[in-house]
Structure 1
């Protein structure tokens, strides 16, 4: 009997994903699967899911073997008490490469102080000679798949990279720290800080006033992770005082960022519209299909969310 796979996401996502998902399912021998936007709950075998979906009560999905998230972030669904099925987050080579591209690009922008010239085409000869990469310490908060990949890429360019995580990790070429004491060390000499942590109760406002004070004067904040990782009022205050030199922010507590938010007009803030890394339908579809293949073969699912940790 063909599998029933519910695509629980928006119509525009369906238009982008239908063809690559069907191709990926065909590649694993499930070309006859019933992939659709509307399937009776009791008949659904797998849910391809966006947390913004209308599906919020998972109790009727009694046959469902797994919920396969389209995005890396699962904070919008992991706390749902009705979700008892296995939940897999998106870990995708395309998403990872996109994040590396964005992070390296903005790190280099700040390292070279490109804005000085791009924003000041006024006939004045402004000489700025940046330090070499080995003299520019970078700290990455979060050493999951994205943080690790970005850290390795920056280390490959010669930057001394410190990676911090709540539990100790070991990544070749990076100084890896953990715990509260490790966080103090990681921030104390960081000229550029990149936030790539998941959003959990433990990480909310991780970068607060006290931790911003630990950074060297003029340090730069780059946040492509999650908006609530930063205490917005504390960051604005640190920018106004000059202690923080600039903040490039791709994620926010409320999205789209309201037009009246002070970040928009602040001269030391760059806003990008949550574009640091977008899930690519073709590569993401292969990740989803692989988990379906595993489920049908009786093999363990990959990229499962640990509900106790929230990611």
Structure 2
């Protein structure tokens, strides 16, 4: 019998337990799914970085820690975690992110805020066609590529950037400092979908924000630390950035008195762009358990050196 310890909190247990049990039965895996167990008996840990479990040293038999979160910055530096760590790549989360990004890109592309807020007069401002609107995707992982494909299917002129070279993609893909400048200088709408690492923190600082076309829009459903808050506020005040739609922040919940809350050219959404769905995420977790039991490589295993 395989012992699977669920260490992601009581609320998540209520949500996930039936889906995990169903997925395990469907996969034909005989497992004891529990919230408490002697560490030396645990084979797998289903995990959330907010869990009280922070010392993995006693879990000597554990074959993998399977996170329910897409982001791993809160756990990847834990020195006691020597077991393989897998991040969550959930089809449901991906679908939600695509819908959020496409929705807000279309909103800004069409200039919908002007009319939603009740503009007066009869100024017939007709937006360009999507093929005439240049969109930049910063981050070409699972989420970034899914969003890029969806936007390309709507005929947007999409280019992407990643920290390392990518090839064989459906869109122009850039990397490195020169590539980042090239993408930012061309992009009227920029979407940030990068993980938080030492290299990506404050990636969009004052200098790089200055590379954007005047009045460009930023959509950030990735990580709050990707953007220098003070530099963004200054760019919004000067008009260098026309609007920022932000779903993630350095401090969450975003304090009521934060300048983003009241800024007329900032849209704040409360970290709702995408969430892990218990039904689909449970199948991802169980697939990795099955792969480990069969001696196959784990999917979505975190590269500790790169931080994601």
| TM-score category (smaller protein) | over 0.9
Quote the Cα distance in structure 2 between the aligned partners of 1:171 and 1:128: 38
Which structure 1 residue ranges, 5 or more long, are not aligned?
A: none
- How does the TM-score come out when normalised to structure 2? 0.98
Which structure 2 residue ranges, 5 or more long, are not aligned?
A: none
Matched, 1:248 2:245: yes
Q: Which residue of 2 aligns with 1:113?
A: 111
Matched, 1:206 2:200: no
Matched, 1:10 2:25: no
Quote the Cα distance in structure 2 between the aligned partners of 1:240 and 1:126: 25
Provide closer, same or farther for how the CA distance between residues 18 and 206 of structure 1 changes in structure 2, counting only shifts above 3 A: same
Q: Which residue of 2 aligns with 1:215?
A: 212
| CA apart distance, 1:128 | 2.2
CA contact (8 A) 1:139 1:194 kept: yes
What RMSD, in angstroms, separates the aligned Cα atoms of the two structures? 1.0
**Residue deviations 1:76-108 (CA, integer Å, cap 9, x gap):** 100101100000011121111111111000000
**Residue deviations 1:135-184 (CA, integer Å, cap 9, x gap):** 11000000000001100110111111110001111253311100011011
SS state at 1:228 partner:
helix
Q: Which residue of 2 aligns with 1:188?
A: 185
Aligned equivalent of 2:284, options 261, 284, 287: 287
CA contact (8 A) 1:148 1:171 kept: no
SS state at 1:140 partner:
strand
Q: Which residue of 2 aligns with 1:305?
A: 302
Deviates further, 123-132 or 96-105: 123-132
Deviates further, 179-188 or 38-47: 38-47
- How does the TM-score come out when normalised to structure 1? 0.97
Q: Which residue of 2 aligns with 1:29?
A: 28
Quote the Cα distance in structure 2 between the aligned partners of 1:153 and 1:127: 28
SS state at 1:214 partner:
coil
| CA apart distance, 1:127 | 2.5
| CA apart distance, 1:188 | 0.5
Quote the Cα distance in structure 2 between the aligned partners of 1:85 and 1:4: 16
Q: List structure 1 runs of 4+ shifted beyond 2 angstroms.
A: 123-128, 170-173
CA contact (8 A) 1:209 1:231 kept: yes
Q: How many residues align?
A: 308
Quote the Cα distance in structure 2 between the aligned partners of 1:177 and 1:298: 36
Quote the Cα distance in structure 2 between the aligned partners of 1:126 and 1:291: 56
| CA apart distance, 1:126 | 4.1
